[in-house]
Structures are given as C-alpha cells and as structure tokens.
Amino acid sequence: MKLENALQDQGEKPSTYLHRLHVMLSATIRRGGVTEAEWSRYLLKQFCRGCWDNSLIADLQLDGRKISPPSFAELVVLIRTAEDKQSLKEERMRKHLGLNKHAPVPVKFRMTTHQQSVYSSDVP
C-alpha cells in the first residue's frame, strides 16, 4: 500500500504531512484498501511512523493514543497548535538573540564547558 511508504518530506511541516496522509488514506478507502472504521487508527499509525519530529510525537503523546486514536480534526488541531507554539518560541529566540528573520534557528544550543584540572606542583 502506497500509504505505508509515505514519509514526511524534508522541510515539510508535520501538519502538511498529515494532510497529505489524509488525502492518500481517503483514496485508499475509496478503493477498498482500508475500512472507514480503521481510518483514524491507520492515519495515526502512519503519522507516527513517517513524521520525523519525534519531540512533537512525544509531547502530544501520540504513540499512546493508538488504541483510541483522535479524529482527523482533533489531530490537526493538536499538531497545528504545537507548530504555532514552536513558531512563537523560535520568534522569541530570534528577537532575544538578535538574529535576523531569515537566519535559521539552531536546533539545540550547546554550551561549551572547559574542564580544569588542578595538579599539585609538589612532587615527592
């Protein structure tokens, strides 16, 4: 099934990927590959499998919702809300750090630490 091989494209937002899965799943249902009753379960399963944003999946606890998956509308709202929250946070970070609007925001800031060792100069 084409749906099972659908993965998030580079630069594609998770909500855009979800919409693409929705279109593919609709076509699969029309062709009789999946029943309407399995709709939400298939959509969530493939979204968790193909979305590269593991922190989004973990934050929304989507892996634990596979038994009782949310509807497409609920899932869209959850994902877009999380994307908006992340976007606002990145904008605050740009302003705070004085980055221009087009500069990519680093995924993770790494603090450089220097380790000092103290050795005794008294050698017996």
Please, where are the H alpha helices in 2-53?
14-30, 39-50
Residue 41 maps to a domain: yes
67-116 pLDDT, tens digit per residue, is 899 999 999 999 999 999 998 988 888 888 887 655 555 555 434 444 44
Query: Which residue segment(s) compose the domain that 21 sits in?
Result: 2-97
pTM strictly above 0.75: no
Count of domains forming the chain: 1
Residue 9 maps to a domain: yes
Residue 107 maps to a domain: no
User: What does the angle CA 104 – CA 90 – CA 19 come to, to the nearest 5 degrees?
Assistant: 90
Residue 67 maps to a domain: yes
Residue 102 maps to a domain: no
What type of residue is 85? Answer: K
Residue 64 maps to a domain: yes
The token duo for 46 is 């493939």
Angle between helices 39-50 and 72-97 (to 10 degrees): 30
